[in-house]
Copies of this chain bind each other. A is one copy, B any other.
Amino acid sequence: MREMFDQELESVQERIVEIADTVFTVVSDAATALLEADVKSADRALVGAELVSEKALSLDELVIRTLALQAPVARDLRILVSTLRISASLERMGALASHIATIARFRFPDSAIPESLSDTFDEMARLDIRLCKKLIKLLKNTSVDLARSIQAADARVDELHREVFEVVLDKTWKEKAVHTVDVTLASRYFERIADHVVDISSKVSYLTTGDWSDNDLED
């Protein structure tokens, strides 16, 4: 019985990693779509986000069934509850990336990002992609250093998000409202994606180590 349960937990972890892999591809495609006004990447991101959603749903079903059939306690229970939260965050990351892809698709063949902000968005997108890569690593193997570097990258994304507002609100900003809207939303989406990576990383150590005291359930 215990052996079968351990196999189930392992399969849950593998499926979380698989979903995170798909999210990484979706975020990369969405970033390419926005930065290079590439409509094919945009379409791939939209399809990918649907796939993330289906995979997350099917994982949730497995987890709920496992909760019902195995009635796990302590560490096992916490792993399964964390999984439900992580899958919800991964699904949101896919949805946010699909919003970015939609902005790119809307402005095609033009670029949604004016020249004055292309460096800022380039760095923000690269950070988000790197965060997704770090997240996959962390989901495979918890590491305190990795969690720290995730927090540092997220802090930089927040900085860039504020930079976008500074540029847009400066007197020298002469772009049309359509660009103001696009960059405001796209920047917000990139920032939320990074937030989700931080949220997940704060839950992920429980997944692999089960080290989750009653005092800091949500740290």
Contact = CB atoms under 8 A, between A and B. Distances in A.
A160 interface: no
Interface of A: 57, 60-61, 64, 67-68, 71, 73-74, 77-78, 81, 84-85, 88, 165, 168-169, 173, 175, 177-178, 180-181, 184-185, 188, 214, 217-218
Contacts of A68: 73-74, 77
Contact of A57 (B73, B168, B218): B218
Please classify the interface of chain A as helix (H, G, I), strand (E, B), loop, or mixed, using the class held by over half of its residues.
helix
Nearest to A78: B64
Contacts of A71: 71, 73
A67 B73 CA distance: 8
A87 to B, nearest CB: 11
Contact of A88 (B77, B85, B168): B85
